[in-house]
Amino acid sequence: MTHPPTRKSKTARRASGAGLMQVRGSAFELHKRGVARYDFRDPYHVAVTLSWPAFIAAVFVVLGGLNLMFAGLYLARPGAVQNLPPGDVLNAFFFSLETLSTVGYGEMAPATLYGHAISAMEIVVGMAFTAIITGLLFVRFSKPRAKILFADQAVIATHNAKPTLMVRIANGRLTMLTAAAAEIGILLAGVTIEGQVFRQVEDLKLIRKSIPIFPLTWTLMHVIDESSPLLGLDREGLIAQDARLFVSVEAMDSGVGARVQAIKDYDHLHVQIGKRYADAVSRDESGRTVADIGRLSLLEDE
């Protein structure tokens, strides 16, 4: 049994303390109570899943905190650093920053055994900090990201004399995608005999769920026949069951030599019945096949 997705304001999300999962490029939000948004017992996972602005901000916060801590240790023993006036927090901070980065300018230097001990500790911490940040930057930059584009809306139209659910996707990169595989699931709400609300995701069988090469566009198709969960559902039926489609695509990106994946969801407001996708692939004057990505979401009447 799955729990229904809910939508809350930012204030409500902060108050609830629920973990939030948001699919990139999607409005789907799933709240989990009792799960921390960030599990600091696993700092590696936190560091690689943060957004770039949050990651950069976190690096500067940690860097600033370390330097403030060591600046306080230097000031705790006046005279530990030569040419550092007692109580001069700003100069102590910059001396700590220079020591942490193993860069010295000669004006200030440890003058006592205590000062040498603290600076030695800070150099070791600085080397570890640099190594960790370098590794995290490499992981974040080397992690391949998909540029698989999805049409803004799914459509239900007649194809080969049968009602068919269609979702058009496109390869948004110039490099070739190979061994592409796709799946579509639908989340439907229902009521059991006992009167309990029950939600489950059912797989929608695709006419073709994989292709060897994915250079331009690909329209995923599910025939709505007797075995389809969509059979008999019109606009009102989709609304009543709070239907939501989930499309996942995985492929090998030859440019980076790694598999990439993307996911997109469509609620009942983004499923058009009686519409089809307008042609997005044509040939130019030289006879080359050209995909106009700008027409990916363009619809026309049946």
Domain residue ranges of the chain, discontinuous segments joined by +: 46-142, 148-301
Classify 46-142 by CATH class.
mainly alpha
Sequence-distant (≥ 6) Cβ neighbours of residue 107 within 8 angstroms? 83
Pairing outcome for strands 177-191 and 162-171? unpaired
CA angle 250, 290, 259 (to 5 degrees): 15
Sequence-distant (≥ 6) Cβ neighbours of residue 99 within 8 angstroms? 70, 119, 122, 123, 126
Confidence of residue 3 (pLDDT cuts 50, 70, 90): very low
Task: Give CA–CA dist 109/208, Å, rounded.
Answer: 70
Provide the residue type at 130 as one letter: T
**Tell me: the pLDDT tens digits for 93-107?**
999 999 998 887 778
- Domains 46-142 and 148-301 alike in fold: no
Classify 148-301 by CATH class.
mainly beta
Alpha-helical runs (H) found in 17-112? 43-49, 52-76, 89-100
pTM of the predicted protein model? 0.71
Q: Kindly state the percentage of the chain with pLDDT values over 90.
A: 63
Directed axis angle between helix 89-100 and helix 113-142, to 10°?
60
Asked whether the beta carbons of 146 and 262 are under 8 A apart, the reply is: yes
**Tell me: the pLDDT tens digits for 199-218?**
888 999 999 999 999 999 99
Burial of 194 (0-12, 13-18, 19+ CB in 10 A): exposed
